[in-house]
A and B are shown apart, each in its own frame.
Chain A
Amino acid sequence: MKRGYLGAVILILVLVILILFSPGSGWKIRSFLEGRYSSKGTNEVILENQSLKSELLLLKNVEDILPKWKADYVPAMIYSQYPFNLKDEILLGAGKNHNVDEGGVVVLSVNQNANSLTSGGVLVGRIKAVMDNTSLASTIFDSEWRSEVKIGDKGVEALLQGGIKPKLTLIKKESDVKDGDLVYSTDSRFQFGIPLGYLKGARLASDHLLKEADLDLGYDLGQIQSLLILKKP
Chain B
Amino acid sequence: MRRGENSLGFWVSSLVFLIVFLLSIFLVVYGFSKTDLILVFLLTLASFAGFWEVLVFGLLAVFLMNWQPWINLEMVMLLILPLGVSLGHRFLPGRPFLQSFFINFSGVLIFYIVLGVPRILSNLGLFLSFVPVDLVFGAIIFLVFRAYSRRNY
CB <8 Å contact, A19 and B123: no
CB <8 Å contact, A164 and B126: yes
CB <8 Å contact, A86 and B119: yes
Write the nearest CB–CB distance from A133 to chain B, whole angstroms. Answer: 9
The contact of B67 among A11, A15, A25, A81, by CB within 8 Å, is A81
Closest-by-CB residue of A relative to B26 is: A33
Which of B22, B63, B122 has the most chain A CB within a 10 Å cutoff? Answer: B63
A103 within 8 A of B: no
Closest-by-CB residue of B relative to A143 is: B123
B152 within 8 A of A: no
B→A interface (CB under 8 Å): 6, 10, 22, 24-26, 28-29, 31, 33-36, 38-39, 52-53, 55-56, 59-60, 62-71, 74, 111-112, 115, 118-120, 122-123, 126-127, 130
A→B interface (CB under 8 Å): 4-5, 8-9, 11-12, 15-16, 18-19, 23-27, 29-30, 33-35, 79-87, 89-91, 131, 134, 136, 143-144, 163-164, 220, 222
Chain A to chain B contacts (Cβ below 8 Å), 23 pairs? A8-B56, A11-B59, A12-B52, A15-B56, A15-B62, A23-B63, A23-B69, A23-B70, A25-B63, A26-B63, A30-B65, A83-B67, A84-B39, A85-B33, A85-B34, A85-B112, A87-B115, A89-B67, A91-B67, A131-B69, A143-B123, A144-B122, A222-B28
10 closest A-B pairs (Cβ-Cβ)? A15-B59, A80-B67, A8-B52, A86-B119, A26-B63, A143-B123, A83-B65, A33-B25, A23-B69, A11-B56
